[in-house]
Chains A and B, each alone.
Chain A
């Protein structure tokens, strides 16, 4: 028998299954010192121990049998489960827009992975239609699995590939693009695409889910419905993130890709626009702009594509009493760009100054962002700030730390591309060119002003807040 018959089992548990010729998906009777157990042997998660056999009993429950209690066992039948999301052909409607859904992984649609015991993505128009039939009323959907990686494994290569594919779709005249993505780094990808795909004629909507679609209360279906509506019918032609507004199944937000951040590890309403309001709210059949100004959908097929990214950038989260060697080692490793996430208005301690001077001397771009998440870097307020600017540290305005990191990688990438195209820069010119790219906002990654309602973190316990929560915050 091949190992396939013993999916996930190892060590002692594998030995005993082999000894008694009992396979995964085999119906088995296991006689133990704790009594007789009858059921179907299931695959075991690779990370679990080798002392138990997993079984599904007649009532549908799973149990584990301790192999040390087994007297004997025998296989009485065999039936392999066929796990499949029902696939139906996605219906075509003349009068509906064409939307392309790119899959990158994540939990938009998923099924169980017996190897790890976790959920893995499943994805095709037919499967999606089987799971979320409402999509057929919104658009003509086609899908393409670009890669199948978890959110944390997304990186520059994936950003570039996505940007290029988006460019192709725009060229082919698509009406809107949706990108299914794990939520952990959704905002990194959104920022990267905002810089790589500038001034698109159609909406580009990134979407994920905080609860996998294998659970009835998943936010996946509603997010997908909202995203497809925004992509197919919406007038906002920008790179956006579409996720739950409140935690309730009510409406979604369209966040500008450069100002959005994941703010809670598990809430459905985890994505928030920072320092501004979202661009719009979205419900099925309705998009309500919140911001007056946005890029409108156009008929043309032109887009400015810059799919470049330098991996010689890094980010340092400052902590009190940080030693210069942290920065020194980054310099020695050859990084050309460093984003510092500083305290307060954008500060680090004096111990770092020598390292900052070294960085400046080497032409390394050093940008300052904020641990406070909200607000602007203000390096003129205190002397220390002025000192640092003198040592070459550039304030990044109210750019979010992750966005600054992505943009620095992109800016350096663009400059490297310009060099490849034949331009030549001195070290100082290159530094200045990167700075020009960094500080020229493409789509509000730095805003000129922070509206009063851009910072709303209310505290529970206050009467009027509790009142608001009870009445409105669903």
Chain B
């Protein structure tokens, strides 16, 4: 290793050079500086009994090993309708994956594994999709055409996803701006991956074929906060119908991000909206960093088209001593390759994402495209090395490297070496051009890794197994009459009710405005009080204890109706809910008994105050007015619950104490 080169310092320096700021420090000016631009593809599972194109039940999930049979498939690219091969398709073909599907007879039939053509589309799902399209102000198509969208990663056994546009050109109203929507499509959900190691990928088919919609926005979101706001809005909109699935994996976001001079990169399958700001922030800066790398390389390499790497096979004996990983590579007869990247010194350790460098751009692709299994490489600009540290000077001499070059040593099964070298070369050449089009997988820490080349419109193909489905005018009119209110109206409504801002997310996330409306109509209860009952008290309970599967929000309504009928003060609900949350099948009377509730009149409650006040004066060290009232409240609070409004009670006590003092 060239001792003169400090990789860590280079990383820090390059991070500074591009003006990276953390998400916390970033201001709108920073995003404007780098030209942050983003859009969303929001996926949402629909709440139907059955799957989209067959009669298997939807929403039943199995453990990895709970399966009845396995089948094996390989995917090969085909032409699109317009006669083009898709880039992703070709890349996936290069990877030569063997894909195994696990089938459980309960949730998959011969349709899922592509041994039976599709059955007619699930009408319930189609209807929900049209309703949500109408809510999204989209232009509804005259005829729904099922289209095949190629996916060669194997996530769908046919090699394509059946999908169809329901509407185009819509909009949503955010706090400060309108955001245009490109389209909404209905599609079948994909398999869930069990593992992906080397050339073998394993999927299960339980989720496969469940109805899903995808709402796509234009790239009109210019800060991570706006992006987050749009994601939340669309999620709330979907949920406002009450006809979509909730829970883990029921809603997933693909986030498209670019920076000025960069290109559209798609971060796939973000499971939680709260991750979106950090992920999009880092992606925009990753692109900003790649542009910086391009500028450095272009200044060093006058004729980029003539840039080539050099590669040679190495003998394991070339190392004085083998590290543990290299020994393992030798023992499994992997080929050992030395690659020289001319003019790439300082690039491999150039900042790309927090704690990631350009070398990761290469290793990600080697893992995905050439199917190499980590650890599979070392290079001249690592922060740390597995011991013993290799003598890179020796290798750079061996391959005749120049002063400004960088070297990689990788090991792989003989069959994968060629693809690996091509993959490195391809990615390095892309670095000379800027930011490659790709989809990336997200991690919880806000960073991403390469997943595949970004597919284009070339992977679409009409589904010859399905006939077009007309959407008649009367049908649309009929659906339009029964739509829930717009989300922005719901916000307005809550502001009018004086619901605190911090409660609104919870209310919309759980689609509670209609319920609050209904309760407030039937009982003399303030919407604001109800809103905080849900968004503060119930949310607090949710954080502390485990929800019984039978508990739902309607139970709160029933409980309030019960209390109303019994003329019991509704405040007691806050003490009853923690019990009902865990034991929703307990009858309300029993809950009251548990709380030792007894019906008492106001006079009964207030009768002992005088006596108690005297007692307080005897025992208190600080007999202030305020303390007296607090202590007295504490004494009769329990008995008062459900019998008397607590703040009214406090006022009554205050009056009495004032008289007594």
Contacts and interface: CB of A to CB of B under 8 A. Distances in A.
A117 interface: yes
Given A32-B139, A216-B76, A470 B70 contact: yes
B144 interface: yes
Enumerate the 10 nearest inter-chain pairs by beta-carbon distance, A residue then B residue, closest first: A64-B143, A216-B159, A35-B139, A66-B142, A60-B457, A60-B460, A248-B72, A83-B83, A62-B145, A217-B159
Interface string B168-183: 1100000000000011
Given A61-B183, A62-B460, A217-B73, 15 more contacts: A34-B141, A53-B142, A56-B81, A59-B216, A60-B459, A61-B147, A61-B185, A62-B462, A66-B142, A119-B464, A216-B75, A247-B113, A248-B73, A249-B72, A268-B115
Main secondary structure of the interface of A (DSSP, over half): loop
Interface string B82-120: 110100010000000000100001000010011111000
A58 B457 CA distance: 8
A12 to B, nearest CB: 13
Given A216-B159, A247-B71, A469-B68, A85 B79 contact: yes
A419 to B, nearest CB: 47
Interface of B: 67-83, 85, 89, 100, 105, 110, 113-117, 138-145, 147-152, 157-160, 163-165, 168-169, 182-183, 185, 216, 456-462, 464, 467-468, 470-471, 473, 476
A250 interface: yes
B430 to A, nearest CB: 24
Contacts of B148: 215
A228 B270 CA distance: 46
Contacts of B110: 266-267
Contacts of A37: 139, 141, 168
Interface string A261-295: 00010111000000000000000000000000000
Given A83-B79, A214-B461, A216-B159, A65 B183 contact: no
Contacts of A111: 79
Nearest to A81: B82
A112 B81 CA distance: 7
Interface string A48-62: 110111101111111
Nearest to A460: B105
A82 B83 contact: yes
Contacts of A52: 142-143, 468, 470
Contact of A59 (B74, B85, B457): B457
B169 A36 contact: yes
A19 interface: no
A414 B439 CA distance: 65
B457 A216 contact: no
Contact of B165 (A34, A35, A61, A222): A61
A298 interface: no
Given A34-B140, A36-B169, A111-B79, A60 B458 contact: yes
Nearest to B102: A470
B72 A48 contact: no
B82 A64 contact: no
Contacts of A83: 79, 81-83
A439 B286 CA distance: 77
A321 interface: no
A474 B470 contact: no
B68 A64 contact: no
A65 B471 CA distance: 10
B154 to A, nearest CB: 9
B142 A217 contact: no
22 contacts: A32-B142, A34-B476, A54-B468, A59-B460, A60-B149, A60-B458, A61-B145, A61-B147, A61-B185, A61-B460, A66-B470, A67-B142, A69-B142, A117-B462, A118-B464, A216-B151, A217-B157, A248-B73, A267-B110, A268-B115, A469-B68, A474-B71
A48 B469 CA distance: 10
B40 to A, nearest CB: 14
A213 interface: yes
B104 to A, nearest CB: 11
Given A69-B142, A470-B67, A249 B74 contact: yes
Q: Which of A59, A86, A117 has the most CB of B within 10 A?
A: A59
A473 interface: yes
Nearest to B93: A216
B147 A218 contact: no
Contacts of A221: 76
A210 to B, nearest CB: 8
A111 B159 CA distance: 16
A161 B100 CA distance: 42
Contact of B77 (A49, A66, A216): A216
A420 interface: no
Nearest to A113: B464
A305 B460 CA distance: 47
B158 A217 contact: yes
Contacts of B78: 131, 213-216, 218
Contacts of B459: 60
B463 to A, nearest CB: 9
A65 B144 CA distance: 9
B152 A216 contact: yes
Given A62-B147, A66-B473, A216-B160, A57 B142 contact: no
A474 B67 CA distance: 12
Contacts of B183: 57, 59, 61
Contact of A49 (B89, B152, B185, B470): B470
Contacts of B157: 217
A84 interface: yes
Given A52-B142, A211-B114, A217 B71 contact: no
Given A52-B468, A215-B158, A247-B113, A59 B68 contact: no
B410 to A, nearest CB: 27
Contact of A64 (B74, B80, B468): B468
Contact of B462 (A68, A112, A264): A112
Contacts of A49: 470
Contact of A216 (B105, B139, B158): B158
A75 B567 CA distance: 71
A52 B469 CA distance: 10
Interface in A66-88: 66-69, 81-86
Contacts of A216: 75-78, 89, 150-152, 158-160
Contacts of A32: 139, 142
A352 interface: no
Given A49-B470, A216-B160, A469 B145 contact: no
A34 B82 CA distance: 27
B139 A470 contact: no
Given A60-B459, A63-B168, A218 B76 contact: yes
A428 interface: no
Contacts of A247: 71, 113, 115
A472 to B, nearest CB: 10
B575 to A, nearest CB: 52
A253 B500 CA distance: 70
Contacts of A212: 464
Contacts of B149: 60
A63 B145 contact: yes
Nearest to B79: A85
B69 A473 contact: yes
A66 B158 contact: no
Contacts of A249: 72-74
Given A51-B470, A470-B68, A64 B144 contact: yes
Contacts of B82: 81-83
Contact of B145 (A64, A248, A466): A64
A57 B183 CA distance: 10
Nearest to A248: B72
A32 to B, nearest CB: 7
B470 A64 contact: yes
B71 to A, nearest CB: 5
Contacts of B168: 35, 37, 57, 63
Contacts of B185: 61
Q: Which of A37, A51, A216, A264 has the most CB of B within 10 A?
A: A216
